[in-house]
Structures are given as structure tokens and as C-alpha cells.
Amino acid sequence: MAERAARIPNATRKRQTNGADLAPAGKRRGTGRTARGRQTRQDLLDAAQAVFERVGFLHARVADICAEAGISHGSFYTYFVSKEEVFNEIVDSVEFDLLKVEGAPEGADPVERIRAANRHYLEAYREHAGILRVIQQVSTFDNDVRQTRVQRQTEFAHAIEHRTRDYQERGLIHADLDPRIAANALGGMVASLADQMFIQGQEFDFDETVEQLTMLWVNAVGLRSTAP
């Protein structure tokens, strides 16, 4: 199994070179500037995600995506060069949705911020579990996918680190806490439990999990609530 995985990237690139799943030479992709074009492009993305979730990345074909979307094979190349490009765009979109930090009202209680962030992460992970399973598999042999995930996770950790420093300056958490280590450790805790719940299938009550993660996070940094 491991040996086959090691050969996958080269095999994929070879198919691309042979033109099996690449746009015909000389043609340029459309940008979806019209409402119809944007809708067609989104239909292809939605169809591709459904196909990837059903058969995996390696077995998915452009023809399968087109059939799922009800769009001609030739029309696919108006918008995308290959299934790899579609997949990378899906990865970017899913990772962004998963790790985005929603803005909170000025003066919002820190504990509520953490609770809301944990809830959002678990909800997004649950929603995207099917494609996240595929993304995890592809990231083991595709450097672009792996780097996209690393970049998003790094950005997320930086956001947590920034908030941690802010709380330290306000005297709300331990002054001797390393913000960078704390951000990565606590973010990793939430991500690991989400994986156990929605990828590995371990059963935990959703609302209770949000509360327990929030409690663990708050206690780990010694955070004091500012709520009246």
C-alpha cells in the first residue's frame, strides 16, 4: 500500500503530460464573469466534490465530474485545466471555511469567543467531513494540497497567537505562557477531536464536546471571564 502511494504523484503527472485530463492546447479558461458562467463554474465545483467524496481523488475522472454536473466534457475546460485544479480549489475553500475566525463584537467576553470558535470549527468539520477525508488522503502524496493545509493552519495559529498575546497584555491569562506554543497546542487539540468525531466515527455529544473543549482551553491558559 505504501509503495503504491509513493508512485501516485508521478502517475498523475504522466497522465497530465499525455493530455488525458488537461485543457486542449491554445484554449483559455473562462473566468465566470457572467452570472451563467459563475453558476456553471460552481456547478462543476459542487459536482467535483460529490465525485471526490464518492470515489476518491485517484479514481475520479473529468468525465465523471461533467456527468454529475450535467455539463458537456468540453465545457469543463472552459473553467478548469484539470481535475487537480478543481480539487485544489475545493481544498482551499474548505480549509478557509474550516479555519476562519469570525469577528466578534468589541468587548465580547473571551470565554464566549473561544466557545463560538470551537462550535464553528466542529460544525464546519462535520459539514465537510466527506471531502476532508479525501483531502487527508491526498495530502499524503500531493505537496500542493499539503502546503495549502499547512498555510491555512499556520494562519489560524497566528490568529490564536495574536488573541493570546492580547489577553496577556490585558492581564486575563498567564503572563508566562508562550503564545505560539499555546496556539498550536490548543488548535491541535480541537482539530484532533474533530477528526475522531467526524472522520474516525467516535461518538461524542456535540454540545457537550463544545463545552468541554472550551473548558479545557480556558483552564489551560488560566483565562478569566470578563462577563459581568
Reported pTM: 0.80
Cα–Cα distance for residue pair 54/133, rounded to 1 Å: 11
Q: Does domain 2-86 have CATH number 1.10.10.60?
A: yes
Cα–Cα distance for residue pair 85/196, rounded to 1 Å: 29
Q: What is the pLDDT of residues 102-139, one digit of tens each?
A: 666 667 789 998 999 999 999 999 999 999 999 999 99
C-alpha torsion 171→174→176→177, nearest 10: -120
Cα–Cα distance for residue pair 62/115, rounded to 1 Å: 41
Angle, helices 110-127/179-198, rounded to nearest 10 degrees: 40
Give residue 170's Cα distance to chain centre.
32
Q: Over 80: is that where the pLDDT of 45 sits? A: yes
The three three-digit cell numbers of residue 133, written as one number? 477525508
Domain residue spans of the chain: 2-86, 90-220
Name the CATH code of domain 90-220 (choices 1.10.1740.10, 3.40.50.300, 3.40.50.620, 1.10.357.10): 1.10.357.10
Cα–Cα distance for residue pair 86/104, rounded to 1 Å: 33
